[in-house]
Amino acid sequence: MTRFRALQRYGLQPDTRICLFDNGLPLSLKPEDSALNSMTDLRRVPAASIKPESTIDQAMQRMIHVGVRLLFVLDDLGTLVGLITARDIMGEKPVRLAAEDHIARDDIKVQNIMVPLGQIDVLDFPEVERSTVGDIVLTLRKAGRQHALVREETTHGFEIRGIFSISQIARQLGVTLQSNDVVQSFAGLEQLIASDD
């Protein structure tokens, strides 16, 4: 028979705070650190997703609730069919679509403005394992993207293993982003990386 024991109990101190959620990532890093230290690993953190038939307002609310700026768009079988970002929702796509198709913005669906699967570029996990944070920043800058997906080949075929976010990397590097503008985001990160050379 297994014997159990009661644990010691302690009173809380007046200055006790709640631990910050860090997605399993280190709170700070340097450009020469391993890229894996800035990748959100979907084996450890659940992917934020939405259905294609959801409205863009539902997608935005989901992003706010989960604290992300990108959602995976999954069909009923859980297969990836696209991506949608906050930038897609708040940008010109919905305005243009509403004007061209004469539909109310509230009726625009995720599937109407998402980036479809065929237009999504990915990085390979084995190459990411050999890369640095600086390499990822340069890759994102050259692509003009705020996010990069990482695929891994498994016995089930290719799966999305992780995701890089320029805002996550900036937080970890200690760079304050002044706006959601990609150009300004990279300018701050490149200045930090150049000062480390």
Give per-residue pLDDT as tens, 56-114: 999 999 999 998 889 999 999 989 999 999 989 998 999 998 889 888 988 999 999 99
Domain assignment present for residue 29? The answer is no
- What pLDDT does 179 receive? 44
In this prediction, residues 19-43 reach a mean pLDDT of 81
Q: Output the domain CATH number for residue 164.
A: 3.10.580.10
- SS3 label, residue 112: helix
Domain assignment present for residue 48? The answer is yes
Residues 75 and 52: beta-carbon distance below 8 Å = yes
Residue 35's alpha-carbon distances to 2, 55, 57, 64, 145, in angstroms, are: 44, 34, 33, 26, 17
pLDDT above 90: percentage of residues in the chain: 44
Give per-residue pLDDT as tens, 104-113: 988 999 999 9
| 62/58 Cα distance (integer angstroms) | 6
Domain assignment present for residue 44? The answer is yes
The answer on pLDDT for 183 being more than 50 is no
- SS3 label, residue 165: strand
Give per-residue pLDDT as tens, 165-175: 988 888 888 88
Domain assignment present for residue 63? The answer is yes
Count: domains in the chain: 1
* pTM > 0.85: no
The answer on pLDDT for 187 being more than 60 is no
Whole domain around residue 112: which residue ranges?
35-195
- What pLDDT does 177 receive? 56
Look at 56-65, 127-136, 139-148, 181-190 and tell me which has the smallest mean pLDDT: 181-190
